[in-house]
Structure 1
Amino acid sequence: MTTTSTARVALVTGGSGGIGTAVSRRLAAAGMSVVVHYAGRAEQAEGVVKEISAAGGSALALPGDVAEPEQMSELFDTVEQRFGGIDVVVNTAGIMLLAPVAEMSLEDFDRMHRVNVRGTFVVSQLAARRLRSGGALINFSTSVTRIRQPTYAAYAATKGAVEAMTLILARELRGRDVTVNAVAPGPTATPLFLDGKSGQLIEQLAKAAPLERIGTPDDIAESVAFLAGPGGRWVNGQVLYANGGIA
Structure 2
Amino acid sequence: MAAELDIDFGDEASSGDGLDWRQRAVIVCDPTPFSRRLTVDILRYAGAERIQTCSTPESAIWFAENADQSVMVVDWRDERLDAAQTIRKLRRSKGEANRIPTLILSTKNTLLDIEAARDAGADTLALRPVSPRGVTERLTEITQRPRAFVKTSNYSGPDRRVRKADGAGAYKRDRDVAEGMTTPLQAARAQAQSIIFTMLRRGDELSARIGRSLERFLASVDALGDREREIIQLHRASLGRLADLQGESREERMEVVEGLETLVRRRLRD
The two structures have a TM-score, normalised by structure 2, of 0.38
Query: Which protein is bigger by CA-based radius of gyration?
Result: 2
Which structure has the highest helix share of the two? 2
